[in-house]
Amino acid sequence: MNGTTQQTIVQALRTRILSGELEPGERLVEAQLAERLGISRTPLRYALSVLATEGLVERSGARGYTVRRFSVTDVLNAIDVRGVLEGLAARTVAERGVNAALARALEDCLREGDAIFAAGVLDSEAETRYAAMNGRFHALIVEAAHNLAVSAALGLNDKIPFVSPGTVVFDKAAQQRQFMMLSYAHRQHHAIVGALVNGEGARVEALMKEHTHISKESLNLSVDRLHLSAVAAAVAA
């Protein structure tokens, strides 16, 4: 089975979880779920392992998973933590200095984002591209800090659903508002790169923390239920 088909199954399961079709606390038995989706158990097992790394499901027994329960407060707190940790990483990079390779990689992200928003609308393909670019942008900064403690803490924090920058939430009922919010987030990417290149440590730290507020708005959170869908950067097979 090719990577594209595998990712289609991952996305199908992710959508069912985020929409509530697969409810929090529901046990996912491989044989039953494979029959329900009309797929074989091997790609399903792969998909469940991917969703486990994203924090949407957790192991339950030898061959099963459970849809993870999480609260609005859990998500919001974790997004705040991400802002603090990424802010520290960005400040470290700015004060140490941005090398040519990092500058080129970040500029590539900016150009790709500019091209995505130039179309004036985010279709499904653009959503996937933006999620991948956003995840890559944030990862470049964190990796460049060479701080194992920050990287490890972010890895744990990203286990909470919707927190990783490689997973971007899209509200199909408010596409124009979503487009404007994410377009603004990408303008923040430009400001972050400018501060990094100019060695403005305090400024880039503040920008990274402010940047997480877009994640909160994009979630369209309510106290009763999460009304959202999400696209995540592809995970290599």
Identity of residue 37:
L
34-76 tens-digit pLDDT = 888 888 888 899 999 988 887 788 888 777 899 988 777 888 8
Tokens found for residue 64: 């099963």
> Measured between alpha carbons, how far is 22 from 44 in angstroms, rounded to an integer?
15
Please give the pLDDT value at position 224: 45
Distance CA 194, CA 97 (A): 12
Helix axes 201-219, 72-96, angle to 10 degrees: 160
**CATH (residue range 72-232):** 1.20.120.530
Q: What is the domain partition of the chain in residue ranges?
A: 3-67, 72-232
Here the tokens at position 61 are: 């027994």
- How far is CA 7 from its chain centroid? 15
Q: Do domains 3-67 and 72-232 have the same CATH topology?
A: no
**pLDDT recorded at residue 220:** 56
Given this model, what pLDDT does residue 86 score?
A: 98
Q: Residue 100: which residues within 8 A CB-CB, separation 6 or more?
A: none
Tell me the three state secondary structure of residue 102: helix
The model scores a pTM over 0.85: no
Q: Which pLDDT value is given to residue 225? A: 45
**Residues 182/214, Cβ–Cβ less than 8 Å:** yes
Question: Residue 23: its pLDDT value, please?
Answer: 85
Q: Check if the beta carbon of residue 8 is closer than 8 Å to that of residue 38.
A: no
What CATH class is the domain 3-67? mainly alpha
**Residues 123 and 227: beta-carbon distance below 8 Å:** no
DSSP label at 56? S
92 residue type, one letter: T
Q: Which two tokens stand for residue 79?
A: 């997004």
pLDDT, one tens digit for every residue, the chain (237 residues): 555 577 788 878 887 887 678 888 899 988 888 888 888 888 899 999 988 887 788 888 777 899 988 777 888 899 999 999 999 999 999 999 999 999 999 999 999 999 999 998 888 788 889 989 999 999 999 999 999 999 999 988 987 877 888 877 766 667 788 889 899 999 999 999 999 999 999 999 999 999 998 888 776 543 344 545 556 554 433
Among candidate residues 157, 123, 150, the one with its CA nearest the CA of residue 54: 157
